[in-house]
Amino acid sequence: MRLKDKVALITGASSGIGREAALLFAQEGACVVVADVEDEGGRETVSTIERQKGRGAFVHADVSQAAECQRMIAAAEEQFGKLNVLFNNAGIMHSQDDDAISTEEKIWDLTMNINAKGVFFGCKYGIPALRRAGGGSIVNTASFVALLGAATPQVAYTASKGAVLALTRELAVVHARENIRVNALCPGPLRTELLMKFLDTEQKRQRRLVHIPVGRFGEAKEIAQAALFLASDESSFVTGTEFLVDGGLTAAYVTPE
Ligand code: NAD
């Protein structure tokens, strides 16, 4: 088992990548704290873990709120005695996030508060817990759009994910000697609710699909596998990276037909 005796906290684990990672981490031996604003989905993730004979616990947490992040970290230590892995994965892509001219300030603020400040809060309260455990691994979900301009505009989202990459690099350098590794995970376009709601017409989906060399959207499970590698000791010499899992998207120059 790749996460035997580890305690992992995953934000945004009520659905998508977070849920798949929670199930996989539990199968690999971790006790998993599932944190999310969606209580029903979060409890369902924990029930599935328990049906598969794993150990999990749900904690309601809005990652844009400092006190709730502090509480979720405390919950991990209270329930399972320590924290070894922090997967800051919660994020939103708002339907009214557009180009710079059309995007309203409140959409910008909401997106930055969850996607960027949420990662900061996770680290602010999570790093002391990782220290208490003698070190650990932080995985922050960014996106390929932090490295490339997306053809369908979403300026707040793109900027928030750029912030996640910059934050990840600095934390990796600052905490390297404390045995705390910090990596960003950059998924390509996935067939999850988050993206399918945003690309809500076949035309929009096709516009994104032409850029992916493998010719399909990725699956949340495929990102969970990459998160598992970064979370586990198998990646013990990997820190400060932008780990791309994108079906070749960033390597390609593809002319839309
Ligand atoms: P998803 O919508 O299935 O999951 C996101 C989860 O985050 C949900 O369970 C949601 O309830 C939770 N969440 C939202 N706001 C929250 C908050 N304030 N506090 C706590 N939880 C909150 O989407 P997903 O595709 O699994 O996305 C997970 C991460 O992956 C996000 O950071 C997203 O930006 C990133 N990502 C997704 C794609 C994609 O194509 N789907 C690509 C690149 C990156």
d(C-alpha 54, C-alpha 31), whole Å: 7
Sign of CA dihedral 108, 124, 246, 199: negative
The per-residue pLDDT for 152 is 81
Q: From the CA of 16, how far away is ligand 1's center (Å)? A: 7
Q: From the CA of 89, how far away is ligand 1's center (Å)? A: 6
The per-residue pLDDT for 150 is 79
The per-residue pLDDT for 31 is 98
Active site residue 253: no
Residue whose Cα lies nearest atom 24 of ligand 1: it is 16
86 φψ region: left (φ > 0), alpha (ψ -120 to 50), beta (else): beta
From the candidates 80, 157, 198, 243, give the one annotated as an active-site residue. Answer: 157
Q: What are phi and psi of 37, to 5 degrees?
A: -85, -20
Q: Are 12 and 90 in contact (CB under 8 A)?
A: yes
The per-residue pLDDT for 103 is 98
Q: From the CA of 141, how far away is ligand 1's center (Å)? A: 9
Taking only the tens of pLDDT, the chain with its 257 residues reads 999 999 999 999 999 999 999 999 999 999 999 999 999 999 999 999 999 999 999 999 999 999 999 999 999 999 999 999 999 999 999 999 999 999 999 999 999 999 999 999 999 999 999 999 999 999 999 999 999 987 789 999 999 999 999 999 999 999 999 999 999 999 999 998 888 888 889 998 988 898 899 999 999 999 999 999 999 999 999 999 999 999 999 999 865 55
Q: From the CA of 50, how far away is ligand 1's center (Å)? A: 23
* DSSP string across the chain: -TTTT-EEEEETTTSHHHHHHHHHHHHTT-EEEEEES-HHHHHHHHHHHHHTT-EEEEEE--TT-HHHHHHHHHHHHHHHS---EEEE------TT---TTT--HHHHHHHHIIIIIHHHHHHHHHHHHHHHTT-EEEEEE--GGGTS--SS--HHHHHHHHHHHHHHHHHHHHHGGGTEEEEEEEE--BSSHHHHHHS-SHHHHHHHHTT-TTSS-B-HHHHHHHHHHHHSGGGTT--S-EEEESTTGGG------
The per-residue pLDDT for 254 is 62
Residue whose Cα lies nearest atom 34 of ligand 1: it is 91
Q: Residue-wise over 135-153: b if at least 16 C-beta within 10 A, else e?
A: ebbbbbbbbbbbbeeeeeb
Using alpha carbons, select from 160, 156, 162 the residue that is nearest to residue 100.
156
Which one of 68, 71, 92 would you pick to mutate in the ligand 1 pocket, going by the greatest count of ligand atoms within 8 A of its CB? 92
Match domain 7-188+219-249 to its CATH number in 3.20.10.10, 3.20.20.70, 3.40.50.720, 2.70.40.10: 3.40.50.720
d(C-alpha 176, C-alpha 197), whole Å: 38
Residue whose Cα lies nearest atom 44 of ligand 1: it is 143
Total-model pTM:
0.97
